[in-house]
Structure 1
């Protein structure tokens, strides 16, 4: 069949798929659960065909630069010990668009094998497993790292009358997760994760030992409740065959006793933490070097678990010091200084209000000093 004929066939398939989605949606717009998953699966298939068509016309593009990663991500054992540090990023254009990640790649002169997403628990479409985005990233040659946040108060009491009232859920909420009260959501997410077949990193309930940030922290839950919830979630995924999920345990190493939250070797694939230098923007912060935040006893204790280590959020603000120097010193000979580190994800967020009332800027793609400093450091690895 000639190329033009193949293109026509592909376009016809796309049109038919779109028509099918519209027809199904019109048939029952009020449906939820499996019906929504079916629609999502159809939309994902359409997007995959569309991607292959575009790649056939324009060439492999970005994926060509990640050919070395194809064999790595196809083998879980190789993902645990990749041949080089896996770089990645989260950008605040996600999940709507990968443009922020692509801009950062262009600025740094590299292509990221990992791309991070943040997904909260809840009933709305944005709380479902992001199958379309994960598939799109896979088609582009990358693997998704999903930070999965158990915001229990988001679920609607009318749809889930067995749950406590919203204002009551956070107190010992992880014990409720461990009892199975949220299996209706976990199981659907797990089934959708298994269906994509590609490797997916899941960073569940990160910074669980921070008493100030998240409702799944120690102000509401004991370490035993966290461990029980973690193990329960992992077991539910394994029960539906979601063996493509790679579990990333991610404490906040600035607080004491974080290692007591470790769920056990059988339930953890990677260990992670964030390395973010806030500078002197608040009373609790000052200008910290990368080694201040991550080095010494913190790194040694994290590496002692024998798991590959991921720096899941990496960045510095510009206030209080020389940001270009900070990045250059952090990245200089990093694999030699911290050999357990196997992944590092840039935090490319230009408008962050998650910690302070003021908006802070972590983005470096357009910084004329920082981007060259990073670009000069990472090829030496």
Structure 2
């Protein structure tokens, strides 16, 4: 968390609601007049059948005699024409559709704001926030016009090109179609070349009846790693073999100083195997903290946030990373981690789908590809140092803010090759700050867990979570959490964030401490009594590794 002081005005989070239409509609056979070829994308896969049910996900593609393609998205309710060279991707149809060729990528989003704190007007205005950085974003054109009976807000801009991104698409345009005050469609163009011929696509856009249901078809899988024996054993013990939830904690002073944590653990009669720790670009590698943790047989979740203390330095922080301006710091981290030797859970740029984080796409052209490129850039620099003890944790927030489809958490996923563990952060913020509400543990994690366990085959963990005590019964919340948590059996580790978020005057706003009162401590103690604090058996792998090296030397 650490950054939470900056979240005060923006944590009022509501997800964009995806409309799921379930009606019985007679489906007509594909039209063939003036059509040279046609097919369906049915539930994410190409199909020649023209029949589909309303609960299925369906897009229709026609190759026209003119040489263009025509897409009818029956799930999202629109139709448009585009160059035949563009390939279609609807693997994440519930979030976006993608049309792409070697030069240009078109992302198509459908947002509905009913039941949220957003509206079409707030979407239009808020999605321009990146333009405050005039050093890197250059506005070329903006206007409001009418296309096929709809009001369209058009914006065109360039971004500073980045050499580290191969075939960098740094020319942008977006056309936001207003269906009504609470519903919009967005065409977001990204191109290697200045915008041209995209107006043909914009002017072809029109609405059609929604006859199907958008869905998520993509699945994500763990990759084989060339880890050290210790790291393999660590991963196996905690994230594969363990059939019991393992607990961790964020305590401000630990693992730099264990005094406060020891006092708390004595009261709880539980020793936390996992400790959460934070660093940014202005703090040195926490070698002493890691050594302290090793001495106490604790495991560290090391969070590196690519940011500075001064806001002015953060305006273009991801661009700075990709331009190599932080290479020395990144390389130093890699060397230190390698020298440390023992397994470390490395959590890079957590909660990236929140605008309180300077590495959010809100600051970089609404373009989540920039975040993905920066993650891969750092990962690949680590790889050059032949690290075999780093386990990568990718960790969005449970609710995206702004709650727009271009900011959906899946847009930030860097790829299976770059991720080992999936983090699930969710908080009950309480009612101290305007717009925030009391949320039960189940209301945070039930649907959250269902979706993540469906999408991700990597192990799941909760790198941080907690409940405020402002606005509800925190004791009852804790009891409910301990009761329901074991039902989410794919979650292997859960870390309580034992801190306080303060308002601008320094007053406690979100009080996440579990030791506010003796009754609260006792409630937590009773809950933890049902869990063990396992010995780090993975450390035994050191002897095996050393033995194998010794045997090789003898040979």
Contact 2:421 2:459 in 1 (8 A): yes
SS in 2 for 1:227: helix
Per-residue CA deviations over 1:216-245 (Å, capped at 9, x if unaligned) read: 122213210111111111111122122211
Tell me the equivalent position of 2:363.
220
Once residues 74 and 292 of structure 1 are traced to their aligned partners in structure 2, the CA distance between those partners, rounded to angstroms, is: 35
Task: Quote the residue 1:193 is aligned against.
Answer: 337
Q: What does the per-residue CA deviation read over 1:120-156, in whole Å, with 9 as the maximum and x for residues that have no partner?
A: 112xxxx1211111011011111111121111576xx
User: How far 1:355 sits from its partner (Å)?
Assistant: 8.3
Contact 1:281/1:319 (CA < 8 Å) preserved in 2?
yes
Does the 8 A contact of 1:104 with 1:364 survive in 2?
Answer: no
Deviation of the 1:88 alpha carbon: 0.8
Match of 1:140 in 2: 296
Query: Deviation at 1:203?
Result: 1.2
Q: Is 1:177–2:321 an aligned residue pair?
A: yes
Whether 1:358 aligns to 2:502 is no
Corresponding position of 2:488: 338
CA gap of 1:224–1:153, structure 2 versus 1, over 3 A, is farther
1:203 is aligned to 2:337: no
Shift of 1:314: 2.1
- Secondary structure of 2:497's partner? strand
- Distance in 2 separating the partners of 1:340 and 1:181: 39
1:238 aligns with 2:383: yes
Q: Which residue of 1 aligns with 2:102?
A: none
Describe how 1:285-300 pairs up with structure 2 within 5 A. 285-296=436-447, 298-300=448-450
Distance 2:329 2:413 in 1: 24
Q: Secondary structure at the match of 1:285?
A: coil
The alpha carbon displacement at 1:194 in A equals 0.9
Q: Matches of residues 1-381 of structure 1 in structure 2 within 5 Å?
A: 74-83=233-242, 84-94=244-254, 96-122=256-282, 127-152=283-308, 167=312, 170-171=315-316, 173-211=317-355, 213-221=356-364, 222-255=367-400, 256=403, 257-296=408-447, 298-303=448-453, 304-335=455-486, 337-349=487-499, 351-353=500-502, 358-360=507-509, 361-381=511-531
Q: What CA RMSD, in Å, does the superposition of the two structures yield over aligned residues?
A: 2.4
Distance 2:421 2:301 in 1: 12
Contact map agreement 2:255 2:290 (CA 8 A) in 1: no
User: Could you say which structure has the higher helix fraction?
Assistant: 1
CA–CA separation in structure 1 for the residues paired with 2:505 and 2:384: 40
Decide which structure has the larger Cα Rg and report it: 2
- Aligned mates of 2:481, 2:507 — CA distance in 1: 26
Q: Deviations over 1:7-63 (max 9, x none)?
A: xxxxxxxxxxxxxxxxxxxxxxxxxxxxxxxxxxxxxxxxxxxxxxxxxxxxxxxxx
Instruction: Give a deviation string over 1:64-119, Cα, whole Å, max 9, x none.
Output: xxxxxx98984333343251322111112235412232233222221111111111
Q: Distance in 2 between matches of 1:268 and 1:356?
A: 39
Structure 1: distance between partners of 2:239 and 2:498: 25
Separation of aligned partners in 2, 1:237 and 1:214: 23
**Change in 2 beyond 3 A, CA 1:217/1:108:** same
Alignment partners' CA distance in 2, 1:190 and 1:302? 30
Shift of 1:279: 1.1
- CA shift in 2, pair 1:76/1:311, >3 Å: closer
Aligned mates of 2:422, 2:264 — CA distance in 1: 25
State whether residues 73 and 79 of structure 1, in contact with CA within 8 Å, keep that contact through their aligned partners in structure 2: no
Gaps of 5+ in 1: 1-69, 155-165
Distance 1:205 1:71, change over 3 A: closer
SS of structure 2 residue aligned to 1:81 = helix
Aligned residues: 292
Q: CA–CA distance in 2 between the matches of 1:77 and 1:133?
A: 24
Counterpart of 2:191 in structure 1 is none
Q: Please list the CA deviations of residues 304-354 of structure 1 after superposition, one character each: whole Å capped at 9, or x if unmatched.
A: 21122221222212121111110110111422x2112111111112x4327
The alpha-carbon distance between structure 1 residues 153 and 323, as it changes in their structure 2 partners (threshold 3 A), is closer
Question: Is the 2:314–2:358 Cα contact (8 Å) retained in structure 1?
Answer: no
Stretch moving more, 185-194 or 325-334? 325-334
The alpha carbon displacement at 1:365 in A equals 2.7
Task: Give 1:364 shift.
Answer: 1.7
Distance 2:506 2:241 in 1: 39
CA distance in structure 1 between the aligned counterparts of 2:237 and 2:305, rounded to whole angstroms: 27
CA contact (8 A) 2:393 2:423 kept: yes
Q: Is the 8 A contact 2:279 2:304 kept in 1?
A: yes
Greater shift after overlay, 360-369 or 109-118?
360-369
SS in 2 for 1:352: strand
Structure 1: distance between partners of 2:376 and 2:388: 14
Contact 1:277 1:289 in 2 (8 A): yes
Go from structure 1 to structure 2 and tell me whether the alpha carbon gap of 1:346 and 1:245 turns closer, same or farther (over 3 Å shift). same
Contact 1:278/1:285 (<8 A) preserved = yes
Report if the CA contact (8 A) 1:116-1:146 is conserved.
Answer: yes
Name the TM-score, length of structure 2 as normaliser: 0.49
